[in-house]
Structure formats: C-alpha cells, structure tokens
Amino acid sequence: EPEVTQTPSHQVTQMGQEVILRCVPISNHLYFYWYRQILGQKVEFLVSFYNNEISEKSEIFDDQFSVERPDGSNFTLKIRSTKLEDSAMYFCASSHNEQFFGPGTRLTVL
C-alpha cells in the first residue's frame, strides 16, 4: 500500500539556521499539507498546497516558512531562520479524498 514518506526522521539544528523538511506524497494525490505538533500540544495546520500553489495557510505560516514542490514528487517545507519555538514534530499529509499522514520529522532547535 502506498505511503507518505518523510525525511529526515529527526533533524537537530542551531537557532537561526535554515532547515528543509522533505516529504514524498502518495503519487496520485493532488492536495498536500504540512502540520506540526509541539510537544504536549495539539496537531496544528500550517499550509495546504494544490495545483502548484498555496491554497490555504495558517497564522503560524509566516514569512519564515515556505513550501515547494520542486520536481513533481517531493514536497518540501523550508524554515528560513529557525527559532527555539519551531521545535516540534512536523507532519506531511496528502489526499485525494482522505488525508494520509507521513511518519513525521522531529525538529529540534538548539
């Protein structure tokens, strides 16, 4: 059964550094999403992407964040200058009807 994959599983970075989190959605899906979950808190929507553009974004998704689908298979989330409070699990999801989630990337900002 096809699955959403994410790399890396764990990323440690210094505050102020740029990180790129990578996702490979399920191949025939048209909608892509990023969510995050800070430890002990709820899963929060960041951004959705359809037809090569952002379709919706949350207040969290400020100018420090960007998404890209560079090659028709990968879907990336870039954080330009990480802050301590960006430490969280980041989940990618894709959907046709139902949203399927990846295993997550744990981002630790020191």
Partner 1 sequence: AQRVTQPEKLLSVFKGAPVELKCNYSYSGSPELFWYVQYSRQRLQLLLRHISRESIKGFTADLNKGETSFHLKKPFAQEEDSAMYYCALSRHNQGGKLIFGQGTELSVKP
Closest distance to partner 1 from the beta carbon of 85 (Å): 19
Output 44 or 64, the one with its CB closest to partner 1: 44
> Quick one: which segment of 7-15, 19-27, 38-46, 77-85 binds partner 1 (CB under 8 A)?
38-46
- The answer to the question of residue 91 lying near partner 1 (CB under 8 A) is yes
Q: Which residues pair with 94 in a beta bridge?
A: 32, 100
Report the SS3 class of residue 71. Answer: coil
CA 78 to CA 81: how far, in whole Å? Answer: 9
Does position 35 bind partner 1 by CB under 8 A? yes
Nearest Cα neighbor of 87 from 103, 110, 104 is 110
What ranges in 1-110 are assigned the alpha helix state H? none
Task: List the one residue from 19, 77, 82, 95 that touches partner 1 (CB under 8 A).
Answer: 95
Return the range that interacts with partner 1 (CB under 8 A); candidates 8-16, 17-25, 71-79, 88-96: 88-96
Cα torsion 23, 29, 32, 37 to 10°: value is -70
Which spans of this chain sit near partner 1 (rule: CB under 8 A)?
4, 30-31, 33, 35, 41-45, 48, 50, 55-56, 58, 91, 93, 95-104
